Structure 1
Amino acid sequence: MRAILCAGALALAAPAQANEPAGAIVSIGGAVTEIVFALGAGDRLVARDTTSVYPEAALALPDVGYMRALSPEGVLSVGPDLILADQNAGPPETVEVLKDAEVAMVQIPDVFTGEGVQAKIRTIGAAIGVEDKAEALATDVAARLEAAQAQAEARAGGAKKRVLFVLSAAGGRIMASGSGTAAAAMIELAGAENAVTGFEGYKPLTDEAVISAAPDAILMMDRGGDHDSPVDQLVALPWIAATPAGQARAVVRMDGLYLLGFGPRIPEAVADLNAALYGG
């Protein structure tokens, strides 16, 4: 028998195993893995996905691949008793195979709010049998986030900065965040406002749209490769140079998982983003 949990609905495995905590866990999703470690269960992990890069101990685990491009063979090859998977894990056909396997699978909801982080923690805690620890961690995160938001709002005052999140500037073309994304939620939590709200998700912007957005600051993930854009190159783009952010060279770069993971470090990420935007 298998067990699948999605958005709080648990179908229990065989009764004799119902109360036995899983001893071999595969964690799919950076925040999921981070929460498992924060709950003191990192020693029960037998593998993780490519996005699971924190804490450092996670890097010693076998890597089963990128969370959106998993193969069922790779995930099952490590012999898990339980698969904890971010709800965005995929592709869908792999998820269906994993659901049909003789392994318990828990899909973790990913909602870009403080309450969403608490729900992740509690869902994972229930799945691995550490509900008390999960409740304590969720309560602590909630209190720290409330304090971070209060400080962020006080520092921002009545003049919130307009922030453009740039997912990619490859080839000089700006791929930016609209509404409904982790980036948009983090900008708001940090006491600022998203400079682009006319669409949902991430889309390429025309040069005119970048200028019209008139961001006071540009926010990017700090990463290498083709999607990276050093500050000098970015602010040299004419459509960036024409914005207040470009003129002030106001570019904030933060680790992607830390910034967008919506895990237990979210209070610190909110505080750091606010400080980078407003000073302090």
Structure 2
Amino acid sequence: MLASTVLRSLVLAAVLLPACAAPGDGPAPATAEVTAPQRIVTLGSSVTEAVFALGAGDRVVGVDLSSLYPETAAALPRVGYYRQFSAEGVLGLRPDLVLASDASGPATAVEQLRSAGIRLELLPSGENLDAARGNITAIAAALGRPEAAATVLATLEADLAEADRMRARVTSRPRVLFVYARGPGRLLVAGRETAGAELVRLAAGENAGGALTGMKPWSAEAVVAAAPDVVVLPSRGLESMGGVPGLLALPGLAETPAGRDQRIVAIDDLKLLGFGPRIGQGVRELLVALHPELGEGAAP
């Protein structure tokens, strides 16, 4: 009787064993989870902002020089500007994840991180709303917090919906010259296929630099001929020029309608230019600045 029972057990084991997956024979069980990163370095202001917005700011151990928001990020160790970061500085922070704009460099530094076996996720630096949405979702997944994206995206979509309602009330279409300045004599105009051009479109303006493609310097004669009603530029750029008087001292600007009326709009470049989580809020603010008919009540 005992022998018969043992025999049956052996036969049953022989049948079942082939069905058991050996290591590497198939996909991991559905319940397997990837370990969430605990030491994160971020390169690029919008990438950093997204990580904090997604609730993982307490895991960030280092950032690049452009990451000034939120204030807690600005207080973290720096590894250089994201376009010229220090691989040694990043590696010294012992990260288990580096999240970076795909415009990060130099290429040798990026390769150093890969060669060191560091997990590196590059995010598209697209300058439009779809890129903003996609990066929030991708960063949430990389953090092991995919569910957190829904809350951040809901806030973004609510701001954009309000911007749509504001655009429906707009009755003017000012010609906007979007410029990027970094000190006297360093002025670039935003042409087509730029973040500046997209922001002007979202704020219901006409791009006065539309004859150009990309960010280009422009002659005084071209600036006068463009006849902008408003000049828009990042606030830090305006500061570097010495404020409105310094900006209007540049050749040609004072002779434009914007110069004569001193219609200069300084924007928060961290909020707008990176197309990060606060882009909807920034568009609303720019709409109010460009369209007086919206009234002060429309301000966020």
Q: Same fold (TM over 0.5)?
A: yes
The answer for unaligned runs of 5 or more in structure 2 is 1-31, 296-300
Match of 1:154 among 168, 186, 194: 168
Q: Residue 153 of structure 2 aligns with which residue?
A: 138
| Aligned-residue offset at 1:150 | 3.0
Q: Could you say what secondary structure the match of 1:199 adopts? A: coil
- Residue 270 in 1 paired to residue 275 in 2? no
**C-alpha RMSD of matched pairs (Å):** 2.2
Highest Rg: 1 or 2? 2
| Aligned-residue offset at 1:169 | 6.8
Q: Residue 210 of structure 1 aligns with which residue?
A: 223
Q: Residue 100 of structure 2 aligns with which residue?
A: 85
Q: Residue 7 of structure 1 aligns with which residue?
A: none
Q: Could you say what secondary structure the match of 2:236 adopts? A: coil
Looking at structure 2, the residues matched to 230 and 95 of structure 1 have their Cα atoms a distance apart, in angstroms, of: 37
Runs of 4+ with >2 A deviation: 154-157, 169-174, 224-229, 233-238
- Supply the AA of the counterpart residue of 2:195: A
Tell me if the contact between 2:180 and 2:237 (Cα under 8 Å) persists in the aligned partners: no
The verdict on how the C-alpha distance between 1:106 and 1:169 changes in structure 2, with shifts beyond 3 A counting, is closer
Tell me if the contact between 1:71 and 1:94 (Cα under 8 Å) persists in the aligned partners: yes
Q: Residue 273 of structure 2 aligns with which residue?
A: 260
TM-score normalised per structure 1: 0.88
Alpha-carbon displacement from aligned partner over 1:45-98 (angstroms, at most 9, x marks no partner)? 010011110011112210111011112111111000000001111112211222
The verdict on how the C-alpha distance between 1:226 and 1:247 changes in structure 2, with shifts beyond 3 A counting, is closer
Looking at structure 1, the residues matched to 242 and 192 of structure 2 have their Cα atoms a distance apart, in angstroms, of: 23
Alpha-carbon displacement from aligned partner over 1:93-152 (angstroms, at most 9, x marks no partner)? 21122222211010011222222111010000000011011133223312321321331x
- Worse-matched range after superposition: 227-236 or 210-219: 227-236
Q: Residue 9 of structure 1 aligns with which residue?
A: none
Q: Residue 15 of structure 2 aligns with which residue?
A: none
Match of 1:73 among 75, 88, 92: 88
The verdict on how the C-alpha distance between 1:238 and 1:85 changes in structure 2, with shifts beyond 3 A counting, is closer
Tell me if the contact between 1:87 and 1:107 (Cα under 8 Å) persists in the aligned partners: yes
Identity %: 42
Match of 1:95 among 101, 105, 110: 110
TM-score normalised per structure 2: 0.82
- Residue 128 in 1 paired to residue 140 in 2? no
The verdict on how the C-alpha distance between 1:75 and 1:245 changes in structure 2, with shifts beyond 3 A counting, is same
- Residue 31 in 1 paired to residue 46 in 2? yes
Looking at structure 2, the residues matched to 150 and 224 of structure 1 have their Cα atoms a distance apart, in angstroms, of: 30
- Supply the AA of the counterpart residue of 2:102: Q
| Aligned-residue offset at 1:226 | 8.6
Q: Could you say what secondary structure the match of 1:205 adopts? A: coil
Q: Could you say what secondary structure the match of 1:68 adopts? A: helix
Looking at structure 1, the residues matched to 173 and 237 of structure 2 have their Cα atoms a distance apart, in angstroms, of: 30
- Supply the AA of the counterpart residue of 1:276: A
Q: Could you say what secondary structure the match of 1:79 adopts? A: coil
Looking at structure 1, the residues matched to 187 and 203 of structure 2 have their Cα atoms a distance apart, in angstroms, of: 23
